[in-house]
Structure 1
Amino acid sequence: MLSVTMKKKLANFTLDVSLQVRNETVVLFGPSGSGKTTILNCIAGLTHPDEGKIKLNDQTLFHTKSKPIPVRKRKIGYLFQDYALFPHMTVYKNITYGATDPELVNKLADVVGIKHLLNKYPRQISGGEKQRTALARALATQPNLLLLDEPFSSLDQETKEQCHQELLRLRELWQIPIILVTHDKEEARKLADRILPIKGGRLSFHTNE
């Protein structure tokens, strides 16, 4: 389980967040600039709150009075909006970057349907294939938590639908907490167990209905 209580001063408001995520998909829903990505970055360790506590299972990742756990030791998979694939590496090498079990790479490539692309480079594959590669790379670290920052926003509708189905299938398979950031209301309703709208740096709590 992920537990977050944090404050961080941003340009126009102070982000003041408290949430818990179990083995479910929680969507942070709101407009650009509302603090969604900052929440993910604080959880991942790419930036730090001004105060608070972040705990994942039995590990305290951040606490105001102690040194934060480094990114590489947090066991968190992070899928960025632009996928952040290494252009000079093949699909296979992109997935194996940071992987803890080489045998898992082939399994994941098979699960997300890109096994035939392992020797290709990012410039040689489609947007949907890049998304699947980035997802496989995030999962190859065998994370205890998966963070997704608008990963489907640049895809065409057909590819987006395919990737939605892939994520729903992987959620059932992996049984880990997932936080998805989106400003697409239909996407939020389709993928979420819970939707948490965010406005002015604060979350509203309700279930996905």
Structure 2
Amino acid sequence: MLSLNIQKKLKAYELDIKFEIDEEIAVLFGPSGAGKTTILNCIAGLTNPDSGTIILSEQTLFQSRMKPVAIQKRNIGYLFQDYALFPHMTVRKNIEYGMKEKELVDQLVDVVGIEKLLDRYPREISGGEKQRVALVRALATRPEALLLDEPFSSLDDQTKKECQDELMRLHDVWKIPIIMVTHDYEEAERLGDRILRIDQGKLI
């Protein structure tokens, strides 16, 4: 269970969001600048709300007037829009960075089908392959929640569908809260157990 009740003053408006998600995929949907990525960053600890609470699996990650839990102690996987792979590391080294157990990595690599990529570098693989590698790396830490910031936006239609299918298949096995940001309503309907519409920092 991920519980969120946060407020944060931004340049154009105040972010004021409250929701709870369980073992489901929740999609944050809305126009650019609506506050979707800021919500993900607050959950991950990359930025902090001005007030409110963030609770994951009974651990309070943020609460007003308390020191926030450090990013590395939040046990949250984050898949960035540009995948943020380390260019100087092979795919294998990228995945092993922060992993919890070798058996889990082997299982994920097998499920996603990237065995042949392990000794290549990010510059040597396609966008769809990078997306799969980044997803495996995010899950290799055995997170209690997964955040996805427009993870499929740069992929062609066929690769996008394949990666969406893999995400749903992994979620069926994993059963953790997943929050995904997208501008694509068709994608939101296909993947989301719930669609949370965000505009000007509010749920609508």
Q: What is the TM-score of this pair, normalised by structure 2?
A: 0.99
Q: Separation in 2 of the partners of 1:170 and 1:32?
A: 28
Aligned to 1:83: 83
Question: What does residue range 164-179 of structure 1 map to in structure 2 within 5 Å?
Answer: 164-179=164-179
Q: Provide the residue aligned with 2:51 in structure 1.
A: 51
Structure 2 Cα separation of the partners of residues 90 and 165 of structure 1:
25
Q: Report the Cα distance in structure 2 between the residues aligned to 1:80 and 1:165, rounded to whole angstroms.
A: 19
SS of residue matched to 1:165:
helix
- Offset, 1:102: 2.2
Per-residue deviation at 1:103?
2.4
Deviation (angstroms), 1:15: 0.2
Counterpart of 1:188?
188
Q: Which residue of 1 aligns with 2:9?
A: 9
Question: Residue deviations 1:124-171, cap 9 Å, x none?
Answer: 111100000000000000000000000000001110010011111011
Deviations 1:35-79 (A, max 9, x none): 000000000000000000000011000001210000111010000
Residue number in structure 2 paired with 1:125 = 125
The answer to whether the 8 Å contact 2:33/2:200 transfers is no
Q: CA RMSD in A?
A: 0.6
Which residue of the partner structure matches residue 29 of structure 1? Answer: 29
Matches of 1:144 and 1:58, distance apart in 2:
11
2:159 paired with 1:159: yes
Partner of 1:207: none
Q: Secondary structure at the match of 2:139?
A: helix
Aligned mates of 2:32, 2:40 — CA distance in 1:
14
Q: Once structures 1 and 2 are overlaid, which stretch shifts more, 102-111 or 41-50?
A: 102-111
User: 2:69 aligns to what?
Assistant: 69
Q: Percent of counterpart pairs with the same letter? A: 64
More deviation in 15-24 or 94-103? 94-103
Residue ranges of structure 1 left out of the alignment (5+ in a row): 205-209
Question: Counterpart of 2:74 in structure 1: which amino acid?
Answer: R
- Which residue identity does 1:164 align to in structure 2? Q
Preserved CA contact (<8 Å) 2:76 2:144? yes
The count of aligned residue pairs is 204
Partner of 2:93: 93
Partner of 1:18: 18
Deviations 1:71-113 (A, max 9, x none): 1110100000000000000001101111111222221111111
Secondary structure, in 3 states, of the residue corresponding to 1:171?
Answer: helix
* 2:153 is the alignment partner of 1:150: no
